[in-house]
Structure 1
Amino acid sequence: MIVTIDGPAASGKGTVARGIADRLGFAYLDTGAMYRAVALAALRAGADCSDAAAVERLLPDVHIEMPPDRVLLNGGDVTEAIRAPEVSQGASRVAAVPSVRAFLVPQQRRIGAGRDMVSEGRDQGTVVFPDAAVKFYVTADPRVRAERRHLELVRRGVATTVERELAELLERDRRDSDRADGPLRRPPDAHLIDTSHRTVEAVLDEMEGVVRRCTTDRA
């Protein structure tokens, strides 16, 4: 069974995706981390993440592995490095490059083939796994998202402000929603989850209930 969780940055989808995977005993795939890894590879090579031709030239030398709780780029552990602010911005730029999507989407499908898995991203329910058994779209108020991102970065020692993070999130939303290939969209058959003023446990309880009911209906 595939469960997809899509939504904008800092909506809480990563937290609930990992949480529901743990509750269900499913594998978990963070597809956004794969785009971040490509962005990191581009930045390390001195390439502009918005330059489609430059990014495409790098792809034959990009090897991404996704063991549990880690991200490996060409054999090196980049789990922390891909969370840097400049990589976050680069990720939404490389995600708009068609050749990058053509490179990563088949990998994501292979990872999910024949498995019980929660797959998190921005196009999982619309493009990668359109026939997923259960789909969720996780969102939150933009300012709440900015406050979360600000707190996350401050904890990691990054100097920033809520207003700066809000502006960057809104710009990233625009890029993610406006790209021609695999834009951020709520799948028509997805359950809408607004995490703005809810606890993680409350959200997980709701999501688990949806999945359990689906499992019963399919039995």
Structure 2
Amino acid sequence: MFDKVIPRLPFLIAIDGPAGSGKGTIAKLLSEKLDLNYLDSGAIYRLIALSSLQEGINLNDAESIISHLKEIDIEFSGGAAFLNNIEVSTQIRTQEVGRIASKIAQHIGVRNQILQVQRDFFCGRGLVAEGRDMTTVVFPNADLKIYLDASPTERAKRRYKQLISKGIDANITDLAEEIKARDRQDMDRMYSPLKIARDAIILNSDDLSIDQTVDAIILNLKDVH
């Protein structure tokens, strides 16, 4: 039924936004409703971060990270993330891995290595891609660009519930401070900083449920030509 709201195929929806804004949940549900591929770009960086942490890679040395990247196997299947054929979906969602992923993402050489991997997800019927620079760098010509935002307080609450539900210890005060720090780091980094694309639709989800947010994005499809 949703084919009727998609202007054409293949179709590309790119979603950016700060940490904890719900991009992953929204993008995944949106991709399922529209029967499009799904790219969680942050998970790619988190997988690299987890592996780098396990192997003691120097996070300040881009060349070491790039060399390590070429030695590991990253795969997504059935909504799960795999590192060297081992499922690590839960491990990559810890606060420490998120912090390291953000640090790794500051290296332009690392970002360039991952760029084509991300773009290869756009195939078949199309793609819903979410991250920090999907609308500005990875897919600047996306058919629909969304900047999904939410207040730091609301994002901390959501992140806390998500982590606790997965059995991961968390402190909501620490999460709020970490989210603010991540915002500064993501917005101030030299390469591919988090910013709102000129032609992106800004959607604040503070007072919206998950379904309402998805419906709001689908509603915007009618304005795409």
Of 51-60 and 118-127, deviating more is: 51-60
CA–CA distance in 2 between the matches of 1:79 and 1:158?
12
Q: Which residue of 2 aligns with 1:193?
A: 203
Deviation readout 1:140-194 (Å, 9 max, x if unpaired): 0111111111222223333332211111111111111111111111111111111
Q: Which residue of 1 aligns with 2:180?
A: 170
Deviation readout 1:18-41 (Å, 9 max, x if unpaired): 111111111111111000011011
CA RMSD in angstroms comes to 1.6
- Work out whether 1:96 is the aligned partner of 2:106: yes
Q: Which residue of 1 aligns with 2:6?
A: none
Spell out the pairing of 1:135-146 with structure 2 (5 A cutoff).
Answer: 135-146=145-156
1:159 counterpart SS class: coil
Deviation for aligned residue 1:89: 1.0
Of 40-49 and 125-134, deviating more is: 40-49
- Work out whether 1:129 is the aligned partner of 2:136: no
CA–CA distance in 2 between the matches of 1:27 and 1:160?
31
Of 118-127 and 42-51, deviating more is: 42-51
Q: Which residue of 1 aligns with 2:35?
A: 25
CA–CA distance in 2 between the matches of 1:203 and 1:58?
38
- Work out whether 1:46 is the aligned partner of 2:37: no
Deviation for aligned residue 1:122: 0.6
CA–CA distance in 2 between the matches of 1:113 and 1:23?
17
Letter in 1 for 2:34: L
Letter in 2 for 1:200: I
Spell out the pairing of 1:59-78 with structure 2 (5 A cutoff).
Answer: 59-78=69-88
Of 156-165 and 47-56, deviating more is: 47-56
Gaps of 5+ in 1: none
Deviation for aligned residue 1:113: 4.1
Aligned residues, how many? 215
Spell out the pairing of 1:140-159 with structure 2 (5 A cutoff).
Answer: 140-159=150-169
Deviation readout 1:54-78 (Å, 9 max, x if unpaired): 3233122122222341222222222
- Work out whether 1:82 is the aligned partner of 2:92: yes
1:61 counterpart SS class: coil
Gaps of 5+ in 2: 1-10
Deviation for aligned residue 1:100: 1.4
